[in-house]
Structure 1
């Protein structure tokens, strides 16, 4: 079938609307009509070449839609189901079997190779040129083909225009806290960067009972939002002395946990320097930058750790419904962070995300979905 997709044809090129040919659904796959999709920093990292990915490609990995066809081996999903899309995993390796599918041995191949395991393409151009698929999802398209392991079924009353970003950005932030760092009640945490991932982590730190939650950014407007969502303290690192302020807030002890969502080298190093004895930092940004550390002085003497956490070490099928529950209870107000755009505004939405004007852009791809109801925010 023919679909309309936003294609990135070259590094740092714009999104270009093109008609593509969609392949047939294989036995473990479903056809999904995309209703809406968030735009994530990882999409931008691939578009500009900060992370290597075969182009041309259809990006997008925070999709939400409705199943229109199911493969012969698909279980527990049916035509008409509302679904949120997340990442793919094999389901059989030791990591998957022990509840850590984001550490799947085949994760890079399944999510970052641009093709199916059998080497076939989901999308092709009219001249036959293969177009890479991202996260086995590629949600910047009117329809896409998705492996059943990517799917998270949600209730029929859930508004698909809103909840797509729970598949990556907010899932990563929340999961980094509950699965990766595992703070105890009364612990302290600092979050560098108040975008979707950072604010998702901040709201979750509050849910988990952290008594000191510090938000760090260079934009006062974002720090105000962070305060409203649960930050006990805020620091503008452009105008304030970070180390002095953290020392003042923690009585000179430092924080138990830090999360960096910026990927800026100096900030990643600062996230180590503010840790207390026994503290743990999680650098979660997709970035080409690296840092230099002195293992003895920065880590060993204070028993500090650096922990890599991909996708929040989350099982999307378990945790996305939890996040929806927290949202309904008023504890995870991610709806305050989104701005809606039409599908043909994708380049504007991407630019607004890059500039910081919009924290979480969401593209409305199917404008007929609940057309008689106002947008959910």
Structure 2
């Protein structure tokens, strides 16, 4: 007969499993996640840290340098990309201000929190602000030199994130080229990337291509589902999805500017689970297909046809639905999770974290589960003692 402690443990464990729902798990895939916070209902950073630990996500991209987040992830294995907003670009051209920012937001935390990259600005070159565009490279250089003065360039790299809209041509991928009006900004920037060995980041959303032309763009092609695909007539390389074609188009554009030593990474990609009536394709089913199929390909360490030795490097957008984001409905519905940490949809990968860890408030249900967890942890010590007595 089992000891009282063992019987109780089994009972409480059963209750725990009944009360805990499955959560999406990205188990050791090496995928990153974008953690945006334009919302008024998100769980605390400490709860988010527990959630991501359960999913074994070890790469997170922020849009700022939130000290609460950096503190919550202290002494964890999570690697952070910090965001430096467009509004700070002018200040970063001043060496003293750049040094102050790095001391405050990087040096203060890097001994305990893994900070590996800083994105200086976001989608600056596809905006309309000519002055801001002129600040971008000097700001990147200012941040890099500030890191260097503190001996941090071997730990932290510097880059910026671009919209896929910087491409003037993307088809076929081997003919990819940047917009001619952006060449004056991109050429010296690529030279800088090559000099400091930093990645070139692209925000790529096949959703927008499908939404804009659903009659001509194959849904299966953008969702990584079986389809005839397309063959690049110049290289005879076959593409069965749009994202890989977009990545190789960026590589081709970079090559046209004289560089073959710069890695392209996807800093944002995703699919909305809900949209306005005119946002064709923004559905739960399509979001689950896009993100689920993408993660499975990452798990297989796939590479693009044009760069077969370089596995794709992706940050999925986004961790949570963000209820305060402006724009169409889709903008508030890219999350893998609702703010209460329940999954928006099932992509076939389950986690094992009790949902109460990330609820924004304690309910009777979550309090009960909390006590169950405490009981299990403490009872294991009594169980060991009971088993020892049985053996004697």
Q: TM class by shorter-chain length? A: under 0.3
Give the alignment's TM-score, normalised by structure 1.
Answer: 0.27
**RCO comparison, higher one (Cα < 8 Å, 6+):** 2
Give the alignment's TM-score, normalised by structure 2.
Answer: 0.26
Q: Which has the larger strand fraction?
A: 1
